[in-house]
Chain A
Amino acid sequence: DIQMTQSPSSLSASVGDRVTITCRASQTISNSLNWYQLKPRTAPNLLIFAASDLHNGVPSRFSGSGSGTDFTLTISGLQPEDSATYYCQQTYSIPITFGGGTKVEIK
Chain B
Amino acid sequence: QVQLVQSGAEVKKPGASVKVSCKVSGYTLEELSMNWVRQAPGKGLEWMGGFDPTHGEIIYAQKFTGRVTMTEDTSTDTAYMELSSLRSEDTAVYYCAADSGVQGPPNYDYWGQGTLVIVSS
Interface residues of B (CB under 8 A from A): 35, 37, 39, 44-47, 50, 52, 59, 61-62, 95, 97, 103-109, 111-114
Contacts known (A99-B44, A101-B44); A32 close to B108, Cβ less than 8 A: no
> What is the interface residue range for chain A against chain B?
20 to 34
Contact of A44 among B61, B95, B106 (CB under 8 A): B95
Interface of A is mostly: loop
**Least CB distance, B95 to chain A, in whole angstroms:** 7
Contact across chains for B104 and A98 when beta carbons are under 8 A apart: no
Q: 7 shortest A-B CB distances, which residue pairs?
A: A50-B104, A91-B106, A43-B111, A49-B107, A32-B105, A96-B47, A98-B45
Contacts known (A94-B59, A95-B61); A55 close to B109, Cβ less than 8 A: yes
Interface residues of A (CB under 8 A from B): 30-32, 34, 36, 38, 42-46, 49-50, 53, 55, 87, 89, 91-92, 94-101
Contact across chains for B47 and A34 when beta carbons are under 8 A apart: no
Measured CB to CB, the nearest residue on chain A to B109 is: A46
Cβ contacts under 8 Å, B113 to chain A: 42-43
Measured CB to CB, the nearest residue on chain B to A94 is: B59
